[in-house]
Amino acid sequence: MKIRANYVSNSSSTSFCIVGVVVSDDDFDIDSKNLRTFLVSDEGWNEDEVDEMDAPTVIDSLYSHLYGDRFKSMFGDISVVRGIENYNSDCVIIGLDIDGMQDDETLGQFKDKVCEQLKNIGFTGDRGNISIYVDGGYGE
């Protein structure tokens, strides 16, 4: 049997470090930013099905359907991932990739920028809700 004691990851493509929030219906007013309307009128989705979606599903569907880059061009540098918050793969985490933080920028300033971007798509929480979320390999 072989034991690998250094960095191990299931897939580097699933690793992330995002400063943001776990999407919840309590913290996102989806209708105020017309994200649902965009899915129905611009993308042709069924209106009744979209009305039944919760905030995490709407945001994840938009991000997945628009293939990331188009989403970013419309809504800013926001990234969306299905995370492992409390080992729940169903949660949706939205925020900015940590590599977008400038060298002369403090974490507090970066969190302010994250909060501002999230408010543009219906985030109703405040900067205090924003955390650092990391997924990837861990070494010993």
Q: Report mean pLDDT in 10-residue bins for the chain, 140 residues.
A: 44 70 90 80 85 89 79 82 65 90 94 93 92 67
The H or E element spanning position 97 is: strand 92-97
Question: pTM here?
Answer: 0.75
C-alpha to C-alpha distance for 88 and 114, rounded to whole angstroms:
23
